Structure 1
């Protein structure tokens, strides 16, 4: 089931990315970077071929480079992702043929061109895979030079955007710059939202009902500490547990009904590593 979930989640992320490329990026010449940006530019220079064709070509070259310089083990699912994304883009271009943008609102289309690939990429990254493309170049540069992956990606994307501005004009170039900035921001935000958990700290004089609720009703565990109230000097118990958003709401409602003197703080965290959450 875990392998099936991984495979379905990976392909859904790639398909959403492909929709953003084929339906919104390509007709508007939004070359934010990556293989889609390179392919959009090449498809304009060589109109006989579409973006999907060039994505097969560019991704194929990059996969070969990755296998030579990084090895098969490092590439992993990146090989599958690179070709699967190319396949989905080609499929959408054949099923939904667009000779012009979907709407007359360029700014609206920019948002969908950013959001769909951002969500798709975040889903792929969240399962530990990669969409491939210029990520492969970044990994090669990182391995054989002092360049960080993030910086090398920014450099390659910036060069693609500058060429798009030269080819398609300043208006499209400015949209590409804005799209590149939004894409980087949204990917991180979406990844954090996927992994968001609630760290709940409960201070109470009657810990047993709360402890039982966490263990039996929420099927979670907790860390228990003894404490003393600074003002009252009474003995207290601190329970610390990590829950999903829904579970945190249930715990809060339970405490509100059953222990009005309890004190609870709930803090967001997107990096929870351990049993029941992400593998260490």
Structure 2
């Protein structure tokens, strides 16, 4: 267990390093912006520096923006999930503070693309092991717990504001290059980890009660249990059907491997959910 958690923390720190490299080596020098709270911190840092004359680093602002969200996440989402977010935010801010801002290229397209690739790689690796990068990930998790509605609109609104400000404060081209960065980073995350807000898990198991209890100890999700029979063995089994958010996928896989490693599990993308998928 210790080695599993240690590996998880190392991956979170590595993801934070990639995020910082994406910003300080490519995006910040080109006035191209990342998504979510990171992009918001970039915008604020640019405004303070270029329009007010106060030099506040992106790392410090990223940390300040995340503090209230992390506090809410600690009580509303869960200490384990939020703890990894705290590690990610802390090391992202630390790396941003100490890695120098260097323009490796004067080509803004190269900066936008490589910044998006490296940033997407860092976020994708973090999401894949069930952690988050804080910011909008925490907000999305809170909203997914409170409302059974699509949360993508919140990402869209915030990123739209960042894109618009990039074009208004600087040049319209900066907004287009920011849009390119967001597209590239999203595609990289898609290649590493699902970006779908909800996925459906179908689990065929002989340990129905144990698995149901283990899932409900960790997640507030409804489960439908159907009778099933093995075609070859003719053994009576159960099919457990549940819908979860992408943030909970790592925890579900971990629970299944611990309770019933012989279970057969199929994870499919969920286009939409009608009605509640929480356990009341």
Gap runs ≥5 in structure 1: 193-223, 226-270
User: Corresponding residue for 2:91?
Assistant: 84
| Cα distance in structure 2, aligned partners of 1:278 and 1:26 | 46
User: Corresponding residue for 1:112?
Assistant: 114
User: Corresponding residue for 1:163?
Assistant: 165
Shift of 1:144: 3.4
Shift of 1:146: 4.7
Gap runs ≥5 in structure 2: 50-54, 195-230, 233-252, 267-280
Call closer, same or farther: CA 1:277–1:174 in 2, change over 3 Å: farther
Q: Secondary structure at the match of 1:46?
A: helix
| Cα distance in structure 2, aligned partners of 1:122 and 1:18 | 14
User: Corresponding residue for 2:66?
Assistant: 59
Is the Cα contact below 8 Å between 1:41 and 1:164 reproduced in 2?
A: yes
Q: Secondary structure at the match of 2:193?
A: helix
Q: How does 1:114-193 map to 2 (within 5 A)?
A: 114-191=116-193
Aligned residues: 201
Is the Cα contact below 8 Å between 2:29 and 2:101 reproduced in 1?
A: no
User: Corresponding residue for 1:249?
Assistant: none
| Cα distance in structure 1, aligned partners of 2:78 and 2:14 | 27
| Cα distance in structure 2, aligned partners of 1:141 and 1:4 | 29
Is the Cα contact below 8 Å between 1:164 and 1:172 reproduced in 2?
A: yes
What TM-score comes out, normalization by structure 1 length?
0.63
| CA RMSD across the alignment | 3.1
What TM-score comes out, normalization by structure 2 length?
0.63
Tell me, yes or no, if structure 1 residue 50 matches structure 2 residue 57.
Answer: yes
- Which of residues 103, 106, 110 in structure 1 aligns to 2:105? 103
